[in-house]
């Protein structure tokens, strides 16, 4: 498996603080190793569009699709609580 960021996700990533970028990188590595890693709290977000949600930290989430052998990151946003 590999991780690929969409243009939007790359833009979102670049706007994160360095600390959040480091957290996102760590979570992407967990994703590569184990979709079920507890800190990701990965879950199906939108069944119709096959979009998953996972945690960057307590305030940020990333949304992704699984396409073949790729975790395709769609966006990284502040969690709408």
Q: What is the 3-state secondary structure (H, E, C) of the chain?
A: CEEEECHHHHHHHHHCCHHHHHHHHHHHHHHHHCCCCCCCCCEEEECCCCEEEEECCCCEEEEEEEECCEEEEEEEEECCC
pLDDT score for 69: 96
Boundaries of domain holding 32? 2-78
- Read off the pTM: 0.94
pLDDT in tens, 7-42: 999 999 999 999 999 999 999 999 999 999 999 999
Domain total for the chain? 1
């Amino acid at each position: 498996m590999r991780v690929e960021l969409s243009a939007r996700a790359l833009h979102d990533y670049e706007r994160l603080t360095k600390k959040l970028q480091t957290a996102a990188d760590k979570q992407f590595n967990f994703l590569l190793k184990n979709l079920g890693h507890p800190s990701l709290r990965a879950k199906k977000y939108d069944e119709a569009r096959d979009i998953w949600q996972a945690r960057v930290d307590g305030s940020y989430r990333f949304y992704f699709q699984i396409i073949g052998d790729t975790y395709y990151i769609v966006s990284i946003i502040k969690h709408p609580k």
